[in-house]
Amino acid sequence: MEADKDLERREEVKEAEALARAFSGSTPAERKRLDRIVDLLPCYVALVDSDHRIISHNAAFAKFFGDPGEKPCYAALRGQSKPCRICPPLCTDDKKGNSVMEWVQAKSGMAFRVHSYPFKEADGTHCILKAGFNITTSLHMRQALDLSEQSYRAITDNLSIGIALLDISQRVRAGNVRLGQWFGASFRLGERICGLAKCGGQHERAVLDPKFYCPDCPFYESLQDGLSHEKEYASVFQNGKERTLRLVTCPVKAARTDKTQVRAMIMMLEDITGRLRINQQLQRARKVEAMNSLAGGIAHEINQPLSALHLYAGGLQMLLERDEHLPLAVTRERLNLIMREADKIRSIIANMRALVKQEGSTPLAAVSIPKAVSGVLSIMKHRTVLRKVHVRVDMPTSLPLALSNEVQLEQVLVNLLSNAMYALDSVSEGALKERCILLKASALPELKRVRLEVADSGPGIPEGSERIFDPFYTTRAGHGGMGLGLSIVYGLVSLWGGEISVAPHHQELGGAAFQLDMKEAEPPGEEGGREERRRHAVHIQRKIKHPKKSGADGEEKG
Query: In this predicted structure, what is the pLDDT of residue 473?
Result: 61
User: Which of 52-66, 381-395, 482-496, 524-538 bottoms out in mean pLDDT, i.e. has the lowest?
Assistant: 524-538
Mean pLDDT of the chain, nearest integer: 78
Summarize pLDDT for 141-157 with one digit per residue, the tens: 888 887 877 777 788 88
User: Which of 66-75, 250-259, 310-319, 532-541 bottoms out in mean pLDDT, i.e. has the lowest?
Assistant: 532-541
Query: In this predicted structure, what is the pLDDT of residue 183?
Result: 81
Confidence band, pLDDT 50/70/90 cuts, at residue 34: confident
Comparing CA positions, the residue from 492, 481, 515, 499 lying closest to residue 347 is 492
Amino acid, res. 128 = I
Amino acid, res. 5 = K
Beta pairing, strands 436-444 & 390-394:
parallel
Comparing CA positions, the residue from 244, 240, 153, 238 lying closest to residue 199 is 244
Among 95-104, 211-220, 276-285, 396-405, the range of highest mean pLDDT: 396-405
Confidence band, pLDDT 50/70/90 cuts, at residue 558: very low
Query: In this predicted structure, what is the pLDDT of residue 401?
Result: 93
Q: Say yes or no to pLDDT of 14 above 80.
A: no
Query: In this predicted structure, what is the pLDDT of residue 451?
Result: 94
Confidence band, pLDDT 50/70/90 cuts, at residue 455: very high
Assigned CATH class of 159-271? alpha beta
Amino acid, res. 208 = L
Query: In this predicted structure, what is the pLDDT of residue 199?
Result: 64
- The CATH architecture that domain 2-140 belongs to is 2-Layer Sandwich (3.30)
Query: In this predicted structure, what is the pLDDT of residue 533?
Result: 55
Query: In this predicted structure, what is the pLDDT of residue 553?
Result: 37
Q: Say yes or no to pLDDT of 196 above 70.
A: no
Distance from C-alpha of 307 to C-alpha of 304, rounded to nearest angstrom: 5
CB 364 within 8 A of CB 523: no
List Cβ neighbours of 499 (8 Å cut-off, separation of 6 or more): 493, 516, 517
- Give the ranges where 24-79 is alpha helix by DSSP (H): 28-38, 59-65, 73-78
Distance from C-alpha of 162 to C-alpha of 148, rounded to nearest angstrom: 20
| Residue 392, beta-bridge partner list | 438
Structure-model confidence comparison of residues 189 and 553, the more confident one: 189
Query: In this predicted structure, what is the pLDDT of residue 548?
Result: 47
Q: Say yes or no to pLDDT of 217 above 60.
A: yes
Q: Say yes or no to pLDDT of 206 above 50.
A: yes
Confidence band, pLDDT 50/70/90 cuts, at residue 444: very high
Amino acid, res. 314 = G
Summarize pLDDT for 112-148 with one digit per residue, the tens: 988 888 877 767 777 888 889 998 888 888 888 878 7
- Burial class from Cβ neighbours inside 10 Å (0-12, 13-18, 19+) for residue 529 reads middle
Summarize pLDDT for 219-239 with one digit per residue, the tens: 888 888 889 999 888 888 888
Query: In this predicted structure, what is the pLDDT of residue 479?
Result: 43
Task: State the average pLDDT over residues 377-394.
Answer: 88
- Burial class from Cβ neighbours inside 10 Å (0-12, 13-18, 19+) for residue 354 reads middle
Query: In this predicted structure, what is the pLDDT of residue 220?
Result: 84
Query: In this predicted structure, what is the pLDDT of residue 438?
Result: 93
Query: In this predicted structure, what is the pLDDT of residue 97?
Result: 62
Q: Say yes or no to pLDDT of 1 above 60.
A: no
Query: In this predicted structure, what is the pLDDT of residue 350?
Result: 67
CB 159 within 8 A of CB 177: no
Task: State the average pLDDT over residues 500-529.
Answer: 80
Query: In this predicted structure, what is the pLDDT of residue 552?
Result: 34
CB 417 within 8 A of CB 372: no
Distance from C-alpha of 434 to C-alpha of 390, rounded to nearest angstrom: 8
Angle between helices 2-23 and 136-157 in degrees, nearest 10: 160
Query: In this predicted structure, what is the pLDDT of residue 453?
Result: 94
Summarize pLDDT for 261-309 with one digit per residue, the tens: 888 999 998 999 988 888 888 877 776 776 676 676 677 667 778 888 8
Task: State the average pLDDT over residues 473-494.
Answer: 68
Q: Say yes or no to pLDDT of 361 above 70.
A: no
Query: In this predicted structure, what is the pLDDT of residue 197?
Result: 62
Query: In this predicted structure, what is the pLDDT of residue 510?
Result: 85
Q: Say yes or no to pLDDT of 546 above 60.
A: no
Assigned CATH class of 361-545? alpha beta
Q: Say yes or no to pLDDT of 531 above 70.
A: no
Confidence band, pLDDT 50/70/90 cuts, at residue 440: very high
Query: In this predicted structure, what is the pLDDT of residue 326?
Result: 75
Q: Residue 142: in which H helix or E strand, if any? A: helix 136-157
Amino acid, res. 421 = M
Q: Say yes or no to pLDDT of 515 above 70.
A: yes
List Cβ neighbours of 554 (8 Å cut-off, separation of 6 or more): 381, 382, 385, 386
- Give the ranges where 426-449 is alpha helix by DSSP (H): none
Q: How many residues does the chain have?
A: 558
Query: In this predicted structure, what is the pLDDT of residue 260?
Result: 63
